[in-house]
Amino acid sequence: MKRSLLLPIIGVSALVLAVFLANQLVSSNKTPQRTVAKTVKSVFVHPAENTSIPLVVSSNGRLVARQRVELFSEVQGVLKFTGKAFRSGQTYKKGEVILALDNSEFAASVRSAKSNFLNILSTSLADIELDFPSIYPKWEAYVRDYNIDAPTAELPHFDSEKERFFISGRGILNAYYNVLNLEARLAKYTIIAPFDGALSLANVTEGSLVRAAQPLGAFIEKGVFEMPVSVPATYAENLRIGKEVILHSLESETEYEGKVVRINPSIDQTTQTIEVTLSVRNQRLREGQYLTAEIEMETIDNVIEIDRSLVLDSQEIFVVREGLLALVPVEVIHYTENTAIVSGVVNGEKVLSKTLPGAFKAQPVKIIED
């Protein structure tokens, strides 16, 4: 009986002792708390100084030649060699022959028509001398000076209706206008350079048979270009013809001087922009080249210019006050490619000049003067 009572008591005592020892072990293994030292980050700042800044709008565009002629043939013939190879890049002076087609067959028919015209005039001189002796000298001089190998000169002026009826009745006018028509068509066998330029495209070579309406190539003016760009409609009142602009290449820092030559009177309803055409002259530029145009608009007062990455989505910027970061609300007047023009910052405020990753309000910082 005593043994049966003693065993439960011993078991309970052993269990209590085990719990006690376990608690002691847990208490003795607690890791002591470490004190984490606060890290003070260094920042670059510059004192804000409100000033007047000219507003510059940047826009990209592609150069196109100011004068461009698509070459087409209005007649048929074999392309002849004119002394310069008809190839892209070939340059020509104004008035120089760009290309010529073989016109020997058609030129013979023109000479035949001019000979027939001269024959009609010659046979009519005797009747003119009898019926209109006062006008005979001018017609006789016209026939004497007529040259089949030269362009046909304009007919003498009619002094009266009778003279006009007589000349017309003899078939002289009909023969004259027939000759002019043939001469005009003969001239189409040769294409003359309308300005100094170069071939940007050549579709045929010497000896090729050229057919009517066949595209032959493209002739462009060298060194003089236009570039259409889009400008926000809000700046329409600052645009004017002749306004100077600065252009620079996307690949280099080379600058070129240009000016506004045309302003589209309508606004693009989709983008709310105005198309402005700029003109630039430089022999180093090429058609198709992309440039960035910087057009100076109005001057904004009491603003500062900072890196655009410093402006938060909440339209605030960080400043340093008494060793802590503070947020200042600003109004963004204009964004450029790399900067932002803002207002609302008091002169002397220590504005961050470089972004601080993970920055937050009231964060302690150390200033490095920039």
Q: How far apart are alpha carbons 180 and 170 in whole angstroms?
A: 18
Residue 251, pLDDT score: 77
Residue 128: CB atoms within 10 A of its CB come to: 22
Cβ neighbours of residue 239 closer than 8 Å, sequence gap 6 or more: 231, 260, 263, 274, 276, 295
Residue 307: CB atoms within 10 A of its CB come to: 14
299 strand-pairing partners: 54
Higher pLDDT, 145 or 369: 145
What does the mean pLDDT of the chain come to? 88
100 strand-pairing partners: 80, 190
Burial of 9 (0-12, 13-18, 19+ CB in 10 A): exposed
Residue 8, pLDDT score: 62
Least confident of 12-16, 66-70, 133-137, 315-319: 12-16
Residues in the chain: 370
pLDDT 10s digits, 196-255: 999 999 999 999 999 999 999 999 999 999 999 999 998 888 889 999 999 998 777 789
327 strand-pairing partners: 318
Contact present, 158 and 167 (Cβ < 8 Å): yes
192 strand-pairing partners: 97
Residue 299, pLDDT score: 86
Q: Is the confidence at residue 36, as pLDDT, over 50?
A: no
Helix-, strand-, coil-residue percentages of the chain, each rounded to 5: 25, 35, 35
57 strand-pairing partners: 295
Q: Which amino acid is at 284?
A: R
Q: What percent of the chain has pLDDT over 90?
A: 68
23, HSE (Cβ side, Cα atoms, 13 Å)? 6
Least Cα distance to 65 among 172, 161, 200 occurs for 200
Q: How far apart are alpha carbons 324 and 363 in whole angstroms?
A: 5
Residue 29, pLDDT score: 55
End-to-end alpha-carbon separation of the chain, Å? 94
Could you give the domains of the chain?
Answer: 43-54+300-369 (2.40.420), 57-65+223-298 (2.40.30.170), 68-100+190-221 (2.40.50.100), 104-187 (no CATH)
Q: Is the confidence at residue 262, as pLDDT, over 90?
A: yes
Q: How far apart are alpha carbons 282 and 209 in whole angstroms?
A: 37
Beta pairing class for 365-369 and 41-47: parallel
Contact present, 299 and 54 (Cβ < 8 Å): yes
- Residue 258 has φ and ψ, to the nearest 5°, of -135, 180
Average pLDDT of the segment spanning 81-109: 93
Residue 25, pLDDT score: 64
Q: How far apart are alpha carbons 62 and 275 in whole angstroms?
A: 13
Q: How far apart are alpha carbons 141 and 297 in whole angstroms?
A: 67
